Structure formats: structure tokens, C-alpha cells
């Protein structure tokens, strides 16, 4: 199906273009400005070239944050994708029970992110939280405020709680598109459960799974609010991910130059990933 060429379609796109230009290009230019200039205050700027970029790329602190960020995203993907597929395979296909599951599963996705943080901050507290208190009763020494490993576990369990449903819902949508005839054919051939999964369900889920992997990767790469509320980036810097570090630098210390350079590098990394996402998805559509 070839679409007709019509350059007047630009008029239809114009409102979006103006709006997004206003809310994306203008601010981004400010960031570019800051990234190549230095200031002694009083609105006096002078050219700093690529100094800030060098400083950022050589900074141990940012390298450490990047390392933590990559580790975090990797763990998130390793847990949420298989778990999401597993849940989707066990979801009821239709009927009131299916609607019930869908609504309950979507619920964590609609809770404001800092409330998600608050819920888990309370839930994990040793004195008043169900999780923390139960673990203490069981004799497990758990304290996410002082122990880096416990803080990591809390943040990861929180993210699994928050976002696994997204993966499951996507896979569920993919599974719904498989005609029942496929399953009947597999039954006649006496295919094992694993083979049904490997040769019928997995190929049909490929497209949505790709969206799930990339969405989860990008969103976990940008995570800010939830760990910030739970741990504040601590103990020490143990859960200071890239966005937390960036906000600390820009708003807390007002180091505009390095923060801007950091922003641009951060944004370029995401841009690269988006490009892969886009290329693969448009290929999928053909």
C-alpha cells in the first residue's frame, strides 16, 4: 500500500511542529549554550569550548553513576521481561476475570511516581512497614537506609512492582492476536508446552516484546523520582543514578556548564537508542 505524495500534508503537521519546537528546541538550545560557556555570575558569559565535555567525560563521579545506571537497567530487563512474559502466559483470555486482572495490573502504572516511592519507602520501613517488619521478625537484617545492597534490592523490587505489568500487558496484547486454530493444530500434532511457546507464541509476541524491551530500557535509564523518594540516592552514592546525579548538579550545585554538557551526552545516548528502536520498529511494519 503506497501512500500518495502530498507536500501540503505539512500544514496538518504544523501545529505539532510549532508546539514541540517551543517546548523542545528552545530549551535544548539553552542547554547547548550553557555547555560551551562559562560564567562568573551577573549574566556575563564567555566561550569555554569543549572544556565542560572533557570534564564530564573524565569525571569519576559521572562514570560511577553511568556504571550504576547500566547495571540497574540490565537487572531490570533481566527480571521484568521474563516475568512479564510468564505472567502474560498465565493470564485468563476473556471474561470478567480477565477484565479484573487487566484493571488490577494497570493500577501501579497510574500511581504518581513519587507516591510509588512513598509507598515503598513506608512498606520497607522496619518500624512501621509490612515488608521491613516481617523481614525483621524472620531475623533478617534488612535496612535500606544504611545498607547499600538492601537499598538496591528495595529499588529493584519497587521497579519490578511498578513496571512488570507493562511488559505483561504488551505480551498479552500480542498473545490475543494468535488465532485459536494455531493452538488446535499444535494439539493435533501433540506439540509440547515448550514447543507451543517457542514456535507459536514467541514469534507472535516478537513485535510487542521489542517495544517492551526498549520502553523498559529507556524508562529505567531515565529513572529519577522513585529511587529519589525512597533512598535520596543513598546510602552514600549507592543508588545515585544518572538523572539524580544530573539534577543534583544542575539544581543543587548550580554547576550549569558541566550539567549542560552532561545533559547533552546523556541525551545523545538516549537518541542513539531511540534510533535503533525506530529503525527496528519501522522495519517491523513492512
Partner 1 sequence: MAAVAESKGRGSTIIMVLYLLFLMLPIYWLLNMSLKTNNEILGAFSLWPKNPTLANYRTILTDPSWYMGYVNSLTYVVMNTAISITVALPAAYAFSRYRFLGDKHLFFWLLTNRMAPAAVFALPFFQLYSSIGLFDTHIAVALAHCLFNVPLAVWILEGFMSGVPREIDETAYIDGYSFPRFFVRIFMPLIASGIGVAAFFCFMFSWVELLLSRTLTSVDAKPIAATMTRTVSASGLDWGVLAAAGMLTIIPGALVIWFVRNYIAKGFALGRV
- Return the number of the residue (129 or 151) whose C-beta is nearest partner 1: 129
Total number of residues shown for the chain: 286
Binding residue for partner 1, selected from 39, 50, 146, 176, defined by CB under 8 A: 176
d(CA 21, CA 26): 7
Question: What distance in Å separates the CA atoms of residue 229 and residue 241, rounded to the nearest whole number?
Answer: 13
Assess 104 for contact with partner 1 (CB under 8 A): yes
Of 50, 71, 78, 111, the one binding partner 1 by CB under 8 A:
111
The nearest distance, CB 249 to partner 1, in angstroms, is 10
Residue 78 Cβ vs partner 1, minimum distance, rounded to whole Å: 18
DSSP designation for 128: T
- Of 40, 44, 60, 103, the residue at the interface with partner 1 (CB under 8 A) is 103
Asked if 105 is part of the footprint of partner 1 (rule: CB under 8 A), the reply reads yes
Residue pair 257/46 in contact by the 8 Å Cβ criterion: no
Q: Which three cell numbers stand for residue 119?
A: 509507598
Q: Which DSSP helix (H) or strand (E) runs through 35? A: helix 26-35
Residues 6+ apart with CB under 8 A from 218: 270, 273, 274, 277
Give the Å distances, CA to CA, from 8 to 18, 101, 220: 16, 46, 39
What is the C-alpha to C-alpha distance for residues 195 and 131, in angstroms, rounded to an integer?
39
Minimal distance in Å, beta carbon 1 to partner 1?
Answer: 8
Residue 273 binds partner 1, judged by CB under 8 A: yes
Rounded Cα gap, residues 165 and 110, in angstroms: 11
Give least dist CB 71 to partner 1, A. 18
Q: Give the footprint of partner 1 on residues 190-219 (CB under 8 A).
A: 193, 207-208, 211, 218
Binds partner 1 by CB under 8 A, chosen from 48, 77, 122, 145: 122
Q: How far apart are CA 56 and CA 210, in angstroms?
A: 32
Cell of 196: 507451543
| Residue 44 sits in the site that holds partner 1 (CB under 8 A) | no
The torsion angle over the Cα atoms of residues 135, 140, 145 and 148, rounded to 10 degrees, is -130
Q: Is 140 in the site for partner 1 (CB under 8 A)?
A: no
In whole angstroms, how close is the CB of 155 to partner 1 at the nearest point?
A: 14
Q: What is d(CA 213, CA 203) in angstroms, rounded to the nearest whole number?
A: 15
Q: Which of 120, 142, 152, 163 binds partner 1 (CB under 8 A)?
A: 120
Q: Counting contacts by CB under 8 A, is residue 187 touching partner 1?
A: yes
Looking at the Cβ atoms of 138 and 251, the one nearer to partner 1 is 251
Asked if 234 touches partner 1 (CB under 8 A), the answer is no
Q: By CB under 8 A, is residue 179 in contact with partner 1?
A: no
Among 91, 148, 153, 213, binds partner 1 (CB under 8 A): 91
Amino acid at each position: 500500500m503506497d501512500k500518495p505524495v502530498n507536500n501540503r500534508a505539512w500544514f496538518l503537521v504544523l501545529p505539532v511542529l510549532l508546539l514541540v519546537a517551543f517546548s523542545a528546541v528552545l530549551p535544548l538550545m539553552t542547554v547547548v549554550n550553557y555547555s560551551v560557556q562559562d560564567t562568573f555570575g551577573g549574566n556575563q558569559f564567555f566561550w569555554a569550548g569543549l572544556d565542560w565535555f572533557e570534564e564530564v567525560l573524565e569525571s569519576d563521579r559521572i562514570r560511577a553513576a553511568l556504571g550504576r545506571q547500566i547495571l540497574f537497567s540490565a537487572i531490570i530487563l533481566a527480571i521484568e521481561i521474563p516475568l512479564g512474559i510468564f505472567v502474560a502466559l498465565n493470564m485468563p483470555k476473556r471474561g470478567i476475570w480477565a477484565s479484573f486482572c487487566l484493571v488490577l495490573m494497570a493500577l501501579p502504572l497510574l500511581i504518581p511516581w513519587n507516591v510509588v516511592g512513598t509507598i515503598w519507602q513506608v512498606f520497607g520501613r522496619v518500624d512501621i512497614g509490612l515488608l521491613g517488619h516481617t523481614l525483621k521478625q524472620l531475623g533478617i537484617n534488612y535496612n535500606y537506609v544504611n545498607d547499600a545492597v538492601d537499598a538496591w534490592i528495595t529499588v529493584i523490587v519497587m521497579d519490578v512492582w511498578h513496571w512488570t505489568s507493562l511488559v505483561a500487558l504488551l505480551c498479552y496484547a500480542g498473545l490475543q492476536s494468535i488465532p485459536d486454530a494455531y493452538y488446535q493444530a499444535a494439539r493435533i500434532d501433540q506439540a509440547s508446552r515448550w514447543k507451543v511457546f517457542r514456535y507459536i507464541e514467541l514469534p507472535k509476541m516478537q513485535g510487542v516484546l521489542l517495544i517492551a524491551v526498549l520502553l523498559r530500557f529507556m524508562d529505567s535509564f531515565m529513572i529519577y523520582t522513585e529511587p529519589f523518594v525512597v533512598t535520596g540516592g543513598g546510602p552514600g552514592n549507592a543508588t545515585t543514578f544518572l538523572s539524580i546525579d544530573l539534577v543534583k548538579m544542575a539544581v543543587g550545585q548550580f554547576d550549569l556548564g558541566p550539567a549542560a554538557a552532561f545533559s547533552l551526552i546523556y541525551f545523545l545516548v538516549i537518541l542513539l537508542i531511540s534510533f535503533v528502536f525506530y529503525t527496528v520498529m519501522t522495519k517491523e511494519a513492512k
